[in-house]
C-alpha cells in the first residue's frame, strides 16, 4: 500500500469516469455519493464556482467519515462566458454542439481534498482548452443518436465517440474527463499519500 498512513481514502463521486481515473493511481479507495445539491446559478467566476461546488460535495461526505481523506470534484464546460451543463433534450444537445462547432471551450474542474482526522483541506482548479472541429449538422445528429451526449456537460465525451468532434486539447486530458490526475496526485502528497 503506497499510502504511508494507511488512511481510508474516499472518492465522493459516483461518476464512473472519475472512478476509472482514480483507479489509475492504484490506491485503495471507496466510492461514496454526496447528497450535496449543486447550485450553478451562484454568481461566481467559473474557477471559483468549481472549487466551491467540490468543497460542498467533500464536506457533505466528510461529516459521516472520520479518519478519512475525502476527494471530491466538480466539472463543467464554459463557452463564451456561459456554463454548459448536461443537455436536457436532444434539441438542447444539438444547439450546444452547433454553437461549439469550430470553436474552443474551457473544461473547468474544481477539486477539494479534506483530511477529516487533522482538518487539513485544500481546494484547487484546473482548466483545459478543447478545440472543436468544423463538423456537419449531419454528424451532430448522428452523434446525438448514439445517446452519448445526453449525460455529458457540453454534450460531448472526449474519451468516447465525441473524440471525433474534437480537433485538439491544451491541458490535462483527464481533466476533461472529470479529474485532473497529475495535479491530484501532487496535492495528495501534501496529505501524506504517495502515488509514485
Closest C-alpha among 174, 18, 153, 163 to residue 76: 153
> For the CA atoms of 146, 153, 105, 129, what is the dihedral angle to 10 degrees?
-100
The three cell numbers of residue 111 are 477539486
User: Active site includes 74?
Assistant: yes
The dihedrals phi and psi of 126, each to the nearest 5 degrees, come to -135, 145
Question: What is the spatial distance between Cα 143 and Cα 141, in angstroms, rounded to a whole number?
Answer: 5
In the set 39, 48, 74, 151, the catalytic residue is 74
- Provide Rg for the chain, Cα atoms: 17
In SS3 terms, 58-73 reads as HHHHHCCCCCEEEEEE
Q: How far apart are CA 83 and CA 196, in angstroms?
A: 35
User: Which residues are identified as catalytic?
Assistant: 74
Amino acid at each position: 500500500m503506497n499510502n504511508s498512513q494507511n488512511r481510508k481514502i474516499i472518492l465522493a463521486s459516483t461518476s464512473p469516469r472519475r472512478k476509472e481515473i482514480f483507479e489509475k493511481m492504484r490506491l485503495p479507495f471507496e466510492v461514496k455519493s454526496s447528497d450535496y445539491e449543486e447550485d450553478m446559478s451562484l454568481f461566481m467566476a467559473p474557477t471559483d464556482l468549481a472549487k466551491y461546488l467540490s468543497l460542498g460535495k467533500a464536506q457533505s461526505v466528510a461529516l459521516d467519515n472520520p479518519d478519512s481523506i475525502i476527494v471530491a470534484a466538480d466539472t463543467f464546460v464554459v463557452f463564451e462566458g456561459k456554463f454548459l451543463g448536461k443537455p436536457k433534450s436532444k434539441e438542447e444537445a444539438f444547439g450546444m454542439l452547433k454553437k461549439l462547432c469550430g470553436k474552443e471551450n474551457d473544461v473547468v474542474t474544481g477539486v477539494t481534498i479534506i483530511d477529516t482526522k487533522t482538518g487539513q483541506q485544500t481546494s484547487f482548479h484546473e482548466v483545459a482548452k478543447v478545440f472543436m472541429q468544423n463538423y456537419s449538422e449531419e454528424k451532430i445528429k448522428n452523434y446525438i443518436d448514439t445517446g452519448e451526449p445526453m449525460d455529458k456537460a457540453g454534450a460531448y465525451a472526449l474519451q468516447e465517440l465525441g473524440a471525433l468532434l474534437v480537433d485538439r486539447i491544451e491541458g490535462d486530458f483527464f481533466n476533461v474527463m472529470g479529474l485532473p490526475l497529475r495535479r491530484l496526485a501532487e496535492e495528495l502528497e501534501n496529505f501524506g499519500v504517495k502515488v509514485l
